[in-house]
């Protein structure tokens, strides 16, 4: 296997890890107006995300950095062609980050409501935009022979792109509900499980519809017809979907959340392997697509990057395991009374 292919696979894995980790706090913020009834419950939402959300976004930076360093031409086309969508994503994430810092600064209901609304927008919008962006990548975006994007923000808001956006919102909201079940107690925990149970059939049905839609709107299945063994990837999200339902019914929150992570990660990998070897397929002509061959860095650069990744990625993983173990307990009244709590 050549270095370009190795980095293509790592590129897909990094995006999958990001969707799994940031997915639950984006979903949690999206559910805030629907599940939190009291001030303590709202603060439980914030403190359920607090120790994790910024660490989770490290994987977004890593995935973007890998795109820049390993596939610089693809990075240039992606960040110039999808500029408006990416700026909306960036502003949404900034708004969400500010909510954690500002909400507790003033004891005013109006002030807190303002930042609760911003947290909802800053969580819902990134989930929707990421889904729209990746659905368009799966479908192919209008790149011409000079690798220039021939479209606008509204070009991306096509029916298939919006279907991908709704898919991501549902996946992340379900993932967030299960995380809330892990991090809460009492009636809020029961409502979190109830919300996950309500979302499950909608999410499962939408996944099926999206796969059928993908058969007609994209070439995602061509690689799977060419190499049928790749269909084994589908076992990850399908198995995860079934186990999520089983574990949630038994109120085993951690197991259900892990199965939900398999659904999100498996779905992302299914899409990424479907577009191989293109990183940005062109909807105008396959010859105009950004591929491993025409956009990867030099073998020396890819070799150095691989060495750096083998050293530092385990460090990041070790830190996140420590973080999750340290803050794995439910948010209690004592946690809310802590002076550094949100």
d(CA 312, CA 293): 27
| Residue of 57 and 171 predicted with greater confidence | 171
Q: Structure tokens of 66?
A: 């890998």
Q: Mean pLDDT, the chain, as a whole number?
A: 93
Whether 135 and 161 have beta carbons less than 8 Å apart is answered as: yes
Instruction: Report how far residue 66's alpha carbon sits from residue 14's, in angstroms, rounded to the nearest whole number.
Output: 9
Interval 246-303: pLDDT, tens: 999 999 999 999 999 999 999 999 999 999 999 999 999 989 999 999 999 999 999 9
Q: Is the pLDDT of residue 339 over 80?
A: no
Q: With the C-alpha atoms ordered 39, 45, 51, 56, is the resulting torsion angle positive or negative?
A: negative
What is the pLDDT at residue 124? Answer: 97
Rg (CA), the chain: 20
Q: How confident is the model at residue 106 (pLDDT cuts 50, 70, 90)?
A: confident
Q: Are 205 and 167 in contact (CB under 8 A)?
A: no
Percentages helix, strand, coil for the chain (3-state, rounded to 5) are 80, 5, 15
Strand extents, DSSP E, the chain = 278-280, 290-291
User: What is residue 209's predicted lDDT score, i.e. its pLDDT?
Assistant: 96
Per-residue pLDDT band at 179 (split at 50, 70, 90): very high
- Exposure b/e, 198-217, CB count within 10 A at least 16 = b: ebbeebbebbeebbebbeeb
**Joined tokens for residue 215:** 């058969």
- Global confidence as pTM: 0.94
Domain ranges of the chain: 3-226+264-336
Read off the pLDDT band of 81 (50, 70, 90): confident
* Residue partners of 6: CB distance under 8 A and separation at least 6: 302, 306
237 preceded by a cis bond (ω within 30 of 0) = no
The Cα 241–Cα 261 span in angstroms is 10
For CA atoms 300, 302, 305, 310, give the dihedral sign.
negative
Share above pLDDT 90 across residues of the chain, in percent, rounded to a whole number: 80
| CA–CA distance, 170 with 249 (Å, rounded to integer) | 19
How far is residue 134's CA from residue 107's CA, in Å, rounded to a whole number? 40
CA 144 to chain centre: 28
Residue 22: its pLDDT value, please? Answer: 93
Indicate the Cα dihedral angle 81, 84, 89, 93, nearest 10°.
Answer: 130
Mean pLDDT (whole number) for 237-253 = 95
């Amino acid at each position: 296997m050549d270095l370009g292919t190795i980095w293509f696979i790592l590129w897909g894995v990094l995006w999958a890890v990001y969707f799994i980790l940031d997915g639950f706090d984006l979903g949690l913020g999206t559910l805030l107006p629907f599940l939190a009834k009291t001030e303590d419950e709202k603060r439980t939402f914030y403190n359920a995300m607090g120790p994790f959300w910024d660490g989770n976004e490290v994987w977004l930076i890593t995935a973007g950095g890998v795109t820049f360093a390993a596939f610089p031409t693809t990075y240039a086309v992606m960040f110039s062609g999808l500029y408006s969508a990416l700026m909306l994503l960036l502003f949404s994430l900034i708004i969400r980050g500010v909510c954690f810092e500002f909400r507790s600064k003033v004891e005013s209901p109006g002030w807190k409501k303002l930042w609760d609304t911003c947290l909802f927008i800053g969580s819902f919008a990134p989930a929707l935009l990421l889904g729209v962006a990746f659905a368009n990548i799966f479908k192919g975006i209008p790149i011409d022979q000079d690798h220039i994007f021939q479209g606008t923000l509204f070009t991306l808001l096509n029916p298939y792109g919006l279907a991908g956006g709704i898919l991501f919102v549902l996946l992340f909201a379900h993932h967030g509900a299960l995380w809330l079940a892990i991090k809460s107690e009492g009636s809020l925990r029961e409502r979190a499980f109830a919300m996950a149970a309500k979302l499950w059939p909608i999410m499962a049905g939408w996944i099926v519809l999206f796969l059928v839609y993908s058969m007609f709107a994209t070439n995602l299945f061509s690689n799977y017809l060419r190499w049928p063994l790749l269909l084994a990837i589908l076992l990850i999200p399908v198995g995860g979907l079934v186990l999520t339902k089983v574990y949630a019914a038994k109120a085993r929150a951690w197991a259900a959340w892990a199965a939900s992570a398999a659904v999100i990660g498996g779905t992302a990998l299914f899409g990424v392997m479907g577009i191989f070897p293109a990183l940005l397929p062109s909807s105008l002509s396959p010859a105009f697509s950004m591929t491993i061959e025409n956009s990867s860095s030099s073998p020396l650069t890819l070799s150095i990057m691989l060495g750096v990744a083998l050293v530092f990625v385990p460090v990041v993983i070790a830190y996140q395991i420590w973080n999750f173990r340290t803050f794995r307990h439910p948010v209690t009244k004592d946690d809310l009374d802590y002076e550094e709590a949100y």
